[in-house]
Structure 1
Amino acid sequence: MRIGIIGAGALGGTFAVLLERAGHDVHVTARGAGLAAIRASGIRLSGGFGEASGRPGAGPLLDGRFDLVLVCVKAQDAEAAILDNAGTIDGCPVIVVQNGLDGVSTAQRLLPRSDCFGLLSIIAANYTEPGVVRITTRATSYLGRGSGRADAASVRWAAELSRAVPVKAIDDFVGSQWTKLIVNMVNGLPAIVGRPVQDVIADRAMRRVMTASMREAVRVGIARGIRFGSLQGLSDARLRLLAQLPLGVGQLLPWLMGRRMGSVPNLGSTQQSLRRGQPTEINFLNGAVVREAQAARLGAPVNAAITTLVHEVEASGQPLSRDEVLRRIRV
């Protein structure tokens, strides 16, 4: 197949190399130093999927006809990136590989002739150098759309992608998006203090704040009528239990997540954006919890505080101390 990938960062670069290795003709979009590096040396992949390299076609926009397009840009860049490429990709099957809750609906709105799907990737990857990706946690990704059972097209595309990288079709994709949102609550605090996710989880006081953000997000999801999908050992029943547990007991959840990450430092996508001097997608992670809480006429003070602090670090370029974070977020 001829496959286009919009965005060649951590996940876009990973899929580009693995799909090319599986025999597909892959073309990616990139800009600036990223585009120059890919044109000069391709994309180098290491870590969980082995050592591999790819030489995809690369340019600022996709060009020509495609059998499939993956949108792998950050959530805040999705609308502009899709619009930039709409003339080429509208009518082509599109899979949005993105954090947050809005990716598939955004693609459907902007690409009315396309069949649009979402992909939830649990792969952890570090991308701090243009054209170089290191997989710190290998994991299955989950493909689907809507709130019903996985349809035939979702099953077919999951099987096709699985020839290159593990992908499963899932029922109730919207519920699973919410579960992934809970998982992504590990991103904000490490970005604020400039430490790996594992270090923050190992700190009891910081882990308590992280647990509070997760519990708050679960309570908001319940208020919005969400049935959480099963991902990463999490399920609707376990997350509903978290909503009721005291923070001291609930800390077991992020602690177990940290154990699964292994020993290779996981920076998280938000911190990697900060290190590259780029805007983060925090408004679509903890910020999404705040917006959904407002829609449910609830408060989400912990997630609101984390969102604010990430924006402060974006503006200053300097992480905050652990003590400052604990002073400003009291749980």
Structure 2
Amino acid sequence: MVKIGIIGAGALGGTFAALLTRAGHEVEVTARGSGLEAIRTDGIRLSGGYGEVHARVTASERLTGGADLVLVCTKAQDAEAAITANRDAVDGTPVVVVQNGLDGVAIASRLLPRSSCMGMLSIIAANYTEPGHVRVTTTADSYLGRGDGPADEECVRTARLLSEAVPVIAIAGFRGAQWTKLVVNMLNAVPAITGRSVQSVVDEPSLRVVVTASMRETVRVGIAKGVRFGALQGMNDRRLRLFARLPLRLGQVLPWSMRRRMGDRPNLGSTQQSLRRGQPTEIDFLNGAVVREASVAGLPAPVNAALTALVHEVEALGRPLPADRVVAVLHRN
């Protein structure tokens, strides 16, 4: 048994906390507001793909220290503040950043100079249905590593430890895998804008083609940046480079293949879940990251720029937009 601290007990943080507790580890989580109160009162209740788990964990606004390993499971936009708030308890402890986007490991390494920082990409789909309750809609492997080289001994050891609770694979070329996950995360924006599930969006041809366009734009930006895409969920560098050359009509097979892996249990996507809780989204670290990287590479990224703006519009309005606002993105670009 080891002591594991988890910063952020939302959908993924709650999932890992419950499964690690079930595996016999001592778990402490951070949470705020109604989530903290619910976990303190009744623990974390996990349902869905990994079975029913009722995990009693220690919960507070900040970690108390003494952990053997810390997972950072906040949204990308909250990472810097959350790590800073926990720095005294964490610096010097191995840290795994479980996060979307491209910058999480670099941020953690800068803020925690005495810690060995790794990254983890999780394809698990989970809905944070209410405070203290998480439902897993899709089970999947998670991928752990750092940098561009082979998986080092610490990454292999950490993946083995976490795999006692949920499958985690230590991988080489982690930065390239982050870009592949960024392509996967292009499934988030359109459901968030329209208020529909990922499955419903991909099933609708007029919306699926917009998702395809955002994915193709992401891959083309990565290629321009010299990225070698990591193997993830049936995708790899060769297949994504081929996808980047396909017309949109044929490229739609990519989001469709992702949709098939999800099954039919509605997946809202993490961006829409934030909207439904009235919280800021991490869209600036997903589609917005593509726009920033495109600018560095001297390329336009009009589809991702438009989708980023539409998500921010939904944030401001507090309600979804008509689907034709999304469809119009392609007509304008």
Q: Same fold (TM over 0.5)?
A: yes
Q: Which residue of 2 aligns with 1:190?
A: 191
Q: Secondary structure at the match of 1:114?
A: coil
Measure, in 1, the Cα distance between the counterparts of 2:227 and 2:317: 37
Q: Secondary structure at the match of 1:46?
A: strand
Measure, in 2, the Cα distance between the counterparts of 1:27 and 1:223: 42
Measure, in 1, the Cα distance between the counterparts of 2:153 and 2:11: 29
Listed as ranges, the matches of 1:248-327 within 5 Å are 248-327=249-328
Measure, in 1, the Cα distance between the counterparts of 2:271 and 2:310: 12
Alignment of 1:95 with 2:96, yes or no, is yes
Q: Which residue of 2 aligns with 1:157?
A: 158
Measure, in 1, the Cα distance between the counterparts of 2:160 and 2:260: 30
Percent of aligned positions that are identical: 69
Measure, in 2, the Cα distance between the counterparts of 1:177 and 1:64: 29
Measure, in 2, the Cα distance between the counterparts of 1:328 and 1:151: 43
Q: Secondary structure at the match of 1:311?
A: helix
How far is the alpha carbon of 1:29 from its aligned partner?
0.2
Query: Residue type matched to 1:146 in 2?
Result: G
How far is the alpha carbon of 1:328 from its aligned partner?
3.9
How far is the alpha carbon of 1:324 from its aligned partner?
2.2
Q: Secondary structure at the match of 1:66?
A: coil
Give every structure 1 segment of 4 or more consecutive aligned residues whose post-TM-superposition deviation is greater than 6 Å: none
**Count of residues in correspondence between the two structures:** 331
How far is the alpha carbon of 1:329 from its aligned partner?
4.0
Is the CA contact (8 Å cut-off) linking 2:210 and 2:329 kept in structure 1? Answer: no
How far is the alpha carbon of 1:64 from its aligned partner?
2.5
Alignment of 1:24 with 2:25, yes or no, is yes
Measure, in 2, the Cα distance between the counterparts of 1:128 and 1:50: 16
Listed as ranges, the matches of 1:58-97 within 5 Å are 58-97=59-98
How far is the alpha carbon of 1:115 from its aligned partner?
0.3
Q: Which residue of 2 aligns with 1:173?
A: 174
Is the CA contact (8 Å cut-off) linking 2:229 and 2:236 kept in structure 1? Answer: yes
Measure, in 1, the Cα distance between the counterparts of 2:309 and 2:101: 17
How far is the alpha carbon of 1:53 from its aligned partner?
1.1
Q: Which residue of 1 aligns with 2:134?
A: 133
Q: Which residue of 2 aligns with 1:210?
A: 211
Q: Secondary structure at the match of 2:86?
A: helix
Q: Secondary structure at the match of 1:133?
A: strand
How far is the alpha carbon of 1:327 from its aligned partner?
2.3
Measure, in 2, the Cα distance between the counterparts of 1:169 and 1:328: 38
Measure, in 2, the Cα distance between the counterparts of 1:64 and 1:170: 29
Q: Secondary structure at the match of 2:219?
A: helix
Could you say what the CA RMSD is over the residues aligned between the two structures, in angstroms? 0.7
Is the CA contact (8 Å cut-off) linking 1:65 and 1:88 kept in structure 2? Answer: yes
Q: Which residue of 1 aligns with 2:146?
A: 145
Q: Secondary structure at the match of 1:258?
A: helix
Alignment of 1:113 with 2:102, yes or no, is no
Instruction: State the TM-score, normalized to the length of structure 2.
Output: 0.98
Measure, in 2, the Cα distance between the counterparts of 1:297 and 1:45: 45
Measure, in 2, the Cα distance between the counterparts of 1:64 and 1:260: 39
Is the CA contact (8 Å cut-off) linking 1:128 and 1:276 kept in structure 2? Answer: no
Query: Residue type matched to 1:138 in 2?
Result: T
Q: Secondary structure at the match of 1:28?
A: strand
Show CA shifts across 1:18-37 (max 9, x none): 11111111000000000010
Is the CA contact (8 Å cut-off) linking 2:303 and 2:329 kept in structure 1? Answer: no
Is the CA contact (8 Å cut-off) linking 1:19 and 1:26 kept in structure 2? Answer: yes
Q: Secondary structure at the match of 1:142?
A: strand
Listed as ranges, the matches of 1:43-62 within 5 Å are 43-62=44-63
Instruction: State the TM-score, normalized to the length of structure 1.
Output: 0.99
Closer, same or farther in 2 for the Cα pair 1:3/1:147, shift >3 Å?
same
How far is the alpha carbon of 1:256 from its aligned partner?
1.1
Is the CA contact (8 Å cut-off) linking 1:289 and 1:300 kept in structure 2? Answer: yes
Show CA shifts across 1:222-241 (max 9, x none): 00000000001001011000
Measure, in 2, the Cα distance between the counterparts of 1:329 and 1:245: 16
Show CA shifts across 1:178-231 (max 9, x none): 000000000000000000000000010110010000000000000000000000
How far is the alpha carbon of 1:325 from its aligned partner?
2.0
Q: Which residue of 2 aligns with 1:38?
A: 39
Measure, in 2, the Cα distance between the counterparts of 1:15 and 1:128: 16
Is the CA contact (8 Å cut-off) linking 1:200 and 1:207 kept in structure 2? Answer: yes
Q: Which residue of 1 aligns with 2:244?
A: 243
Q: Secondary structure at the match of 2:260?
A: helix
Measure, in 2, the Cα distance between the counterparts of 1:260 and 1:80: 34
How far is the alpha carbon of 1:65 from its aligned partner?
1.0
Is the CA contact (8 Å cut-off) linking 1:229 and 1:236 kept in structure 2? Answer: yes
Is the CA contact (8 Å cut-off) linking 2:192 and 2:269 kept in structure 1? Answer: yes
